[in-house]
């Protein structure tokens, strides 16, 4: 029972339920008190012990039904064997003649143990045997869809399928009746279907969320310019989740604790009424000033995909970066801050791409627009973030304006979606802009965006 509960709770954690070790021990104690004979009572007990919210409760109930699926599954037998079986089927009894033939063959030692069990119609025994074989093969470790056939084959081999096939194939020149051979063939097919159903059920319980986690980890690392359109929705959710986590980390107020540097002035003032006796101490606290952000994004060509997720990340950090002005350009610079306030990020990006995206790039014209619209408002509290590949189609890049931005601002970050080996090749003029940057970094994946903004907030 303990192993079964451990595997079930592990599956819940993979599904996203936050279950602590203490809650696991509470669930084990509760199950010991209520017992395992009543399925609904067990389900209610685990739900009360392990779920904190209504969405978590729904996940647990669905997973419980999957884990203990099948109308003919004996829950008690499954728990005794530390597993469960879906769709266990009862084989119909043999005819009287076939039963006599099977008995004669069994007494003569011609049939294997699995053949005799199949012919006896012992469905519950087969259920327990399949569960035990699956446990021996560590079926709970199944990870991907393609492993289902492998596990099904291994379970069949552990049950004795090789000897069963030998019984079936020995019909020629043996004393086994053809009807008996046909019955063995039919029941072997039923057993194979039963094993496949069981492996399928266990895959849904143990591997479904592993696959989703693997996909999410991959999306964190893959180049944003390679993200396919069908993954935009999932990627947007991952960006929002990463930004929320980062915002939570950096929005906590620093507590003034009894350590660090003593604030002499405040300490003397606090103890003036005690004739200089230091009853109370005061300590210096670090004040965090949230930076003003000016984000400038190249939306031409493949850079537009990276811009989409960078802007989404920025606007998901509103709690810690409340002062964000956003600009986009292919040639002319356009402020889109109000557009993001009116529309969702997804809708705003669609509008941006329709109006200004996928045009010929001209950094010189864009920086001239920056000089006219923004330069006067940039001060030593402003952090300027440029996302672009610095490919200017061999035009004048107006690096002098970018140098002025650097002199007036607090920090200038240039995020380039290309590999560093591609910088300053072809029409790239990255070397002209680099002297006017506090940091120049490659920004190709969600992990890169998260790392860059984590560093930005840490030093803000």
pLDDT, residue 211, reads 61
d(CA 4, CA 391): 59
pLDDT, residue 241, reads 80
pTM above 0.85, yes or no: no
pLDDT, residue 290, reads 62
Tell me if 219 sits within 8 A of 238, measured CB to CB: yes
pLDDT, residue 257, reads 46
pLDDT, residue 208, reads 63
Write down the residue that tokens 């004040």 correspond to: 287
In the predicted model, residues of the chain with pLDDT beneath 50 are: 70-91, 94, 96, 106-108, 253-257
- Residue ranges of the domains in the chain? 2-67, 96-210, 291-458
pLDDT, residue 256, reads 43
Rounded to the nearest 10°, the torsion over CA 39, 42, 43, 48 is 160
Q: Which of 422, 364, 357, 410 is nearest to 385 (CA)?
A: 410
Tell me if 319 sits within 8 A of 288, measured CB to CB: no
Tell me if 91 sits within 8 A of 49, measured CB to CB: no
d(CA 261, CA 256): 11
pLDDT, residue 302, reads 66
pLDDT, residue 107, reads 42
Q: Which CATH class is domain 291-458?
A: alpha beta
pLDDT, residue 74, reads 35
Tell me if 316 sits within 8 A of 239, measured CB to CB: yes
pLDDT, residue 374, reads 92
d(CA 29, CA 166): 48
Q: Which of 180, 178, 138, 173 is nearest to 155 (CA)?
A: 138
pLDDT, residue 165, reads 86
d(CA 226, CA 305): 8
pLDDT, residue 431, reads 94
pLDDT, residue 414, reads 95
pLDDT, residue 379, reads 92
pLDDT tens-digit readout, 311-356: 888 877 766 676 788 999 988 999 998 888 888 877 888 888 888 8
pLDDT, residue 80, reads 40
pLDDT, residue 412, reads 94
pLDDT, residue 287, reads 55
């Amino acid at each position: 029972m303990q192993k079964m509960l451990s595997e079930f709770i592990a599956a819940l954690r993979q599904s996203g339920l936050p279950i602590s070790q203490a809650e696991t021990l509470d669930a084990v104690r509760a199950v010991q008190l209520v017992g395992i004979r009543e399925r609904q009572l067990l389900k209610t007990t685990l739900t009360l012990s392990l779920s904190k919210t209504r969405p978590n409760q729904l996940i647990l109930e669905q997973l419980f039904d999957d884990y203990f699926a099948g109308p003919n599954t004996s829950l008690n037998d499954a728990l005794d064997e530390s597993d469960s079986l879906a769709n266990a089927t009862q084989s119909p009894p043999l005819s009287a003649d076939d039963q006599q033939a099977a008995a004669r063959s069994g007494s003569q030692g011609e049939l294997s143990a699995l053949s005799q069990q199949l012919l006896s119609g012992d469905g519950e025994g087969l259920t327990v045997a399949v569960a035990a074989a699956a446990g021996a093969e560590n079926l709970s470790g199944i990870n991907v869809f393609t492993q289902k056939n492998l596990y099904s084959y291994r379970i069949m081999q552990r049950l004795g399928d090789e000897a069963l096939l030998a019984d079936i194939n020995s019909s020629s020149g043996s004393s086994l009746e053809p009807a008996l051979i046909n019955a063995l063939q039919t029941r072997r097919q039923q057993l194979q279907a039963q094993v496949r159903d069981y492996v399928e059920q266990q895959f849904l319980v143990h591997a479904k969320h592993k696959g989703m986690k693997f996909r999410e980890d991959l999306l964190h690392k893959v180049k944003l310019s390679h993200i396919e359109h069908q993954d935009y929705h999932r990627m947007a959710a991952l960006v929002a989740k990463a930004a929320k986590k980062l915002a939570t980390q950096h929005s906590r107020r620093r507590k003034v604790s009894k350590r660090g540097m003593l604030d002499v002035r405040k300490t003397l003032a606090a103890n003036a009424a005690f004739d200089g006796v230091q009853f109370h101490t005061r300590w210096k606290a670090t004040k965090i000033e949230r930076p003003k952000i000016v984000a400038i994004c190249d939306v031409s060509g493949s850079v537009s995909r990276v811009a989409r997720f960078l802007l989404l990340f920025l606007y998901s950090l509103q709690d810690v970066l409340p002062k964000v002005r956003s600009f986009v350009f292919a040639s002319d610079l356009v402020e889109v801050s109000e557009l993001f306030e009116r529309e969702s990020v997804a809708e705003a990006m669609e509008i941006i791409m329709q109006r200004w995206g996928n045009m010929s790039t001209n950094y010189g014209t864009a920086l001239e627009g920056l000089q006219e619209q923004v330069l006067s408002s940039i001060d030593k509290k402003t952090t300027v973030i440029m996302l672009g590949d610095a490919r200017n189609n061999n035009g004048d890049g107006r690096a002098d304006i970018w140098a002025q931005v650097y002199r007036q601002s607090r920090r200038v970050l240039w995020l380039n979606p290309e590999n560093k080996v591609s910088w300053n090749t072809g029409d790239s003029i990255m070397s002209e802009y680099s002297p006017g940057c506090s940091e120049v970094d490659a920004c190709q994946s969600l992990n890169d965006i998260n790392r860059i903004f984590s560093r930005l907030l840490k030093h803000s």
